[in-house]
């Protein structure tokens, strides 16, 4: 059992300052190989089409192939649920630590393939941000809403369509004056103050969803492959209503199952 990476004072400082952290070499080569092999086996799905308990559901017409509920797509995806490279960071930032509702929940998990011409328009930011994705540190504890992991399965450099962020925008009290057209579909690459997050395969970026972010234009040939797991407090619910199959819940370790289903449903006749 690999020891989980513990949050450091520098993690806290940078996460608070910028709204994101880059986790270098988070996932090892053998696990990456199995994840990429699983991607190779994805069938050619149409938007809306189901594959087992996963569904292709592209966020926009430009984001490319996005397989939602990908934790149902096999063991390599299950192993990401409580991955030691990030799980303790998420517990700290969005797990309601030291409260009566301590714990995590994964409210979305997506396998994403983006080809040439693809991008993800900018969204979020502290200005009028949803509580669901808010950044909060108060009284000595983090109380963030959704925090995301984007894990690179391919190297992501210039032209590859990097995740882009505006550092510090999770605390913005004003709207970005030029974000309008970009939010409606322009590529984020030229948005003032937007920065690409360059990743090697196996690296991950952790960020609070309230940070302004998106995906820059993919101009190179070939595919950008990433996996997105969105964590939040254990009392959350899935954004689109996906549920986890009985088979999956039954085979998970208790720790993983607790993250997917922190509050099992009860009804008349069920002991508490
Ligand atoms: O595709 C990306 O790099 C960014 C994804 C994104 O904006 C999101 O997951 O909300």
Domain range annotation of the chain: 9-41+51-260
Mean pLDDT of 233-249: 96
Ligand 1 midpoint to CA 69 (Å): 16
The domain defined by 9-41+51-260 carries CATH number 3.30.450.20: no
Could you list the beta-strand ranges (E) of the chain.
Answer: 20-23, 50-51, 54-56, 65-68, 104-114, 120-123, 137-138, 141-142, 147-152, 163-165, 195-197, 204-208, 213-215, 224-233
* pLDDT at residue 111, as a whole number: 98
Residue with the smallest CA separation from ligand 1 atom 2 is: 215
DSSP state of 32: H
Q: What is the pTM of this model?
A: 0.97
Ligand 1 midpoint to CA 272 (Å): 39
Ligand 1 midpoint to CA 266 (Å): 35
Who lines ligand 1 at CB under 6 A? 120, 150, 163, 213-215, 228
CA dihedral sign of residues 80, 83, 85, 86: positive
Ligand 1 midpoint to CA 29 (Å): 23
Instruction: Please state, for a pLDDT cut of 90, what percent of the chain lies above it.
Output: 93
pLDDT in tens, 37-53: 999 999 999 999 999 99
Residue with the smallest CA separation from ligand 1 atom 8 is: 214
pLDDT in tens, 75-113: 999 999 999 999 999 999 999 999 999 999 999 999 999
């Amino acid at each position: 059992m690999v020891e989980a990476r513990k949050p450091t004072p520098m993690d806290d400082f940078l996460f608070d300052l910028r709204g994101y952290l880059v986790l270098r070499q988070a996932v090892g080569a053998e696990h990456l190989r199995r994840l990429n092999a699983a991607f190779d086996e994805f069938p050619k799905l149409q938007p809306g089409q189901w594959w087992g308990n996963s569904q292709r559901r592209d966020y926009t017409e430009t984001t490319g192939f996005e397989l939602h509920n990908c934790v149902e797509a096999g063991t390599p995806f299950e192993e990401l649920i409580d991955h030691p490279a990030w799980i303790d960071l998420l517990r700290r930032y969005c797990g309601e630590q030291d409260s009566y509702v301590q714990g995590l929940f994964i409210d979305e998990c997506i396998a994403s393939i983006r080809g040439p011409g693809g991008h993800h328009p900018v969204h979020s930011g502290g200005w009028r941000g949803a509580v669901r994705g808010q950044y909060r540190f108060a009284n000595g504890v983090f109380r963030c809403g959704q925090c995301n992991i984007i894990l690179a399965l391919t190297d992501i450099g210039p032209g590859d369509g990097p995740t882009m962020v505006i550092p510090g925008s999770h605390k913005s009290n004003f709207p970005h004056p030029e974000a309008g057209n970009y939010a409606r579909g322009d590529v984020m690459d030229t948005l003032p103050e937007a920065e690409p997050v360059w990743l090697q395969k196996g690296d991950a970026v952790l960020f609070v969803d309230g940070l302004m972010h998106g995906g820059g234009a993919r101009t190179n040939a070939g595919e950008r492959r990433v996996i997105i797991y969105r964590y939040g407090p254990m009392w959350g619910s899935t954004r689109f209503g996906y549920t986890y199959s009985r088979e999956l819940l039954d085979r998970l370790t208790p720790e993983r199952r607790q993250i997917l289903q922190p509050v099992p449903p009860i009804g008349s006749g069920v002991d508490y």
